[in-house]
Structure 1
Amino acid sequence: MKYVKFLAWIGTGIGAIGGYLYWKEIGCITGTCPLKSQWQTMIPIGAYFGFVAGDVLKGFFMPSKKDGDKQ
């Protein structure tokens, strides 16, 4: 559980790589698609979604401490 704190950042890196791969393999061939036609837009979008997914997973593994809890 030591590395659970970094799940959001790991997700960001994986999402950025996923955004690049999505642009490379599936992206818009004609160049008329505003989001999918350029890698400069797909990498930040993928990084954002990866960060959100990693943050959600971090919430499952590390529940937030309540004010009344003492640990």
Structure 2
Amino acid sequence: MDENRDLNRIKVMLAEKKCTNKWLAEQLGVNATTVSKRCTNSSQTSLDMLSKIADALNVDYTELVRIKRNFGEEDE
């Protein structure tokens, strides 16, 4: 299992909100490829960009990531 994918919930939130990468890209003023890279962890997302994504999706930024604690135990 890809641990990074499990920590990054941008793609999950897009699906829950029934939004596309293209829509999010338009909201952020970036291209859809950039959003795709953020969703797949091909490119690291800065805290500033994470905040902008959260604003566009109308969610708290903490809903976009999961934190691992105690050397591997997932935060629930």
Q: TM-score, normalised by structure 1?
A: 0.31
Give 1 or 2 for the bigger CA radius of gyration.
Answer: 1
More strand by share: 2
The structure with the greater share of residues assigned to helix is: 1
RCO higher in 1 or 2 (8 Å CA, sep ≥ 6)?
Answer: 1
